[in-house]
Structure 1
Amino acid sequence: MDKKKKQRTIIFYKTYFDDFFKGQKQKVKDKIIWTFDLIEELQRVPETYLKHIENTDGLFEIRVQLASDIFRIFCFFDQGQLVVLANGFQKKTQKTPKKEI
């Protein structure tokens, strides 16, 4: 991906995401980083990669899929262009488990 002007910046909230990220295989880490690059660089991010979670006040999920493995990373926006990452998990059911939020 060509380096373009960043539309937003991603930061971590505490160590929740970092703890999740460190436990992943390298291919998963690479796909997560690729998805982060999209979110930082695209003006309008497709819902395939970033989606508002229904019935929440500003909570979003970053959506990462590698083959049949699906991962979700919770995030929210601070002052519009700053994406703050919270928890991440591997999704194994259709609905997002409440304990992960």
Structure 2
Amino acid sequence: MNEAAPINAVMRALADPTRRAVFERVVSSDEITVVELTRGSGVTQGAISQHLKSLKQAGLVTERPEGRNVYYRAQPEGLEPLVDWMSHYGVFWRERFANLRTLLKEIDP
């Protein structure tokens, strides 16, 4: 797998607004089932399951089967590629703003 694959998988998984909402509900719970996620979401249980599958493939959630239920929980380390990517661009933009600040001071004495 190439280096860009993990960040691409995370961004692709979080690009969909419904999937992002599902992820946010999983994050806000210790553990949650598909049935609980479906309740009040306005989305079918099958659609929720598909979103969870995408989130799991991206490494953002894990599952724990127990009897007839499957419990999902957030996997925080799955966000590491996104955090690394954002950190890189945070440094990039801080440097650019510092350069701009210097240039503006030179132009306006």
TM over 0.5: no
Tell me the TM-score normalised to structure 1 length: 0.32
Tell me the TM-score normalised to structure 2 length: 0.30
- Structure with bigger helix share is 2
- Structure with bigger strand share is 1
